[in-house]
Amino acid sequence: MLLPEGVVIDTITGTVSPSTSSYVKRVSELRGIYRDAAALDDFVSCNGDVVAYEVIDYRKPESDLAFGTTIMSPGKIGDEYFMTRGHFHVRRDCVELYYTQVGHGTLLLESRDGEVRTVDMKPGVCAFIPPDWAHRSVNTGAGKLIFVWVCAADAGHEYGGILERGMRRFVVERDGRAELVPHPKYPA
Ligand code: F6R
Ligand code: ZN
């Protein structure tokens, strides 16, 4: 039987206690998502293969909801900010929520038919991710970006399409500010 439990999400570090699993993504594992592969190699040779982000889960067998945190380091590969891989959910009927706890970022969203939207990520903003919109978090701030996510436990992740063709916008730094740039394959 599932029992009630108070799960502590540290307001500063984003750690989840107790948690059920976690993983990290290092810069070298994210090679395919950045447009400038040489900049990625330069980054790794100068800074080492640092952790770009960590995902911590709380999910229980038999529960239809899962939640957890994503803890993103600040950084850039060339002019592109550190970002998550980005995905659709396998289940096309599932909403997800992202509640930003620490830092600043851009949530980049794309529908199946190519509509692009963004939501500012800053403390207190709860982003509503509608069913069947791809989502990628981009850390545009100088410090960590930490958010709490909640979704259906069996939503599943579909990474292939985004990895192969990219999202329709890049989020890059221009004159010290975050700017959206169209992917050359998909002019705005
Ligand atoms: C779950 C979800 C987040 C992301 C995490 C890493 O549906 O959206 O937990 O999985 O922020 O992003 P990806 O999975 O795109 O590397
Ligand atoms: Zn998701």
Strand extents, DSSP E, 27-75: 51-58, 65-72
Question: In terms of pTM, does the model score above 0.85?
Answer: yes
Closest protein CA for atom 15 of ligand 1 = 86
Ligand 1 pocket member 32 (CB < 6 A): no
Mean pLDDT estimate for the chain:
97
Q: Is the pLDDT of residue 132 over 80?
A: yes
How many angstroms is it from 175 CA to the middle of ligand 2? Answer: 31
Q: Is the pLDDT of residue 188 over 90?
A: no
How many angstroms is it from 157 CA to the middle of ligand 2? Answer: 7
The HSE-up count of residue 139 (CA atoms within 13 Å, CB side) is 24
Which token pair is 109?
Answer: 């969203």
| Secondary element (H or E) of residue 174 | strand 169-174
Name which CATH class applies to 8-182: mainly beta
Residue 123 has a pLDDT of: 98
pLDDT band at 131 (very low <50, low <70, confident <90, very high): very high
Q: Which of 107, 149, 154 should be mutated for ligand 1, with most atoms under 8 A from CB?
A: 149
How many angstroms is it from 86 CA to the middle of ligand 1? Answer: 7
Beta-strand relationship, 65-72 and 126-129: unpaired
